[in-house]
Amino acid sequence: MKYILFVCTENSARSQMAEALFNHYNKNKEYAGISAGTSPARGIKPFAIEAMKEKGIDMSKQKPKKLVSGMVKKAKKIFTMGCTNGCPVTPPDKTEDWDLEDPAGKSIEKYRQVLNEIARRVKKLVLEI
């Protein structure tokens, strides 16, 4: 199995949405999306869950996960969501930063905007693998 790892600080919105979208759109059985955070939150942000439900994807059962070295080693490619300064364990040769705005503390509309940008990038990624 080849893992695509999505990383953000809390693993409570952006990276979780990227993981869920990747696993939803990806049809290549050799790949799976996973996500993690450098300082995981206690749960997924409610607006992230709501925005994903609007796209027909339920991520209400997902939980934030701590980024550990084993995930990094197993990952074929790593995408950070705009937290490269906080993700020192991701090797530059297989890490790409998507530099996405953190919607935490903002409106559902901001979550939708960030989600749409993640979806655009994930669809492109799925076509490339």
- In tens, the pLDDT along 69-126 reads 999 999 999 999 986 554 567 888 899 999 999 999 999 999 999 999 999 999 999 9
Q: Are 26 and 33 in contact (CB under 8 A)?
A: yes
Calculate mean pLDDT across residues 30-41: 95
pTM comes to 0.94
Residues with a known catalytic role? 8, 83, 87
- Give the Cα separation of 95 and 88 in Å (integer): 11
- CA-CA-CA-CA torsion sign (81, 85, 91, 94): positive
Task: Report the CATH superfamily, name and number, of domain 2-128.
Answer: Response regulator (3.40.50.2300)
Mean pLDDT of the chain: 93
The pLDDT assigned to 83 comes to 67
